[in-house]
Amino acid sequence: MNALFKRRSIRKYIDKEVSDADLELLLKAAMCAPSAGNEQPWEFIVVRDREIMKRVSEFHPYSKMLHQASAAIVVCGNRSRQVYDRDYWQLDCSAATQNILIQATDMKIGSVWLAVYPEPDRIKGAKKLFGLPEEVIPLAIVSLGYPQEEKKMADRFKQERIHYNIWGGKKGME
Ligand X SMILES: Cc1cc2nc3c(=O)[nH]c(=O)nc-3n(C[C@H](O)[C@H](O)[C@H](O)COP(=O)(O)O)c2cc1C
Close Cβ partners of 94 (under 8 Å, ≥ 6 residues apart): 139, 140
Which helix (H) or strand (E) segment is 137 a member of?
A: strand 136-145
Task: State which residue, 63 or 78, has the beta carbon closest to ligand X.
Answer: 63
Q: Which is nearer to ligand X, 83 or 154 (CB)?
A: 154
How near is the Cβ of 116 to ligand X at its closest, in Å? 8
Residues found near ligand X in the complex (CB under 6 A): 8-9, 11, 62, 112-115, 154
From residue 124, give the alpha-carbon distance in Å to each of 40, 54, 77, 100, 119: 23, 16, 14, 24, 9
Judged by beta carbon, residue 5 or residue 164, the one nearer ligand X is 5
Cβ 13 to ligand X shortest distance, Å: 13
Minimum gap (Å) between residue 78 Cβ and ligand X = 19
Q: Give the separation between CA 149 and CA 127, rounded to whole angstroms.
A: 31
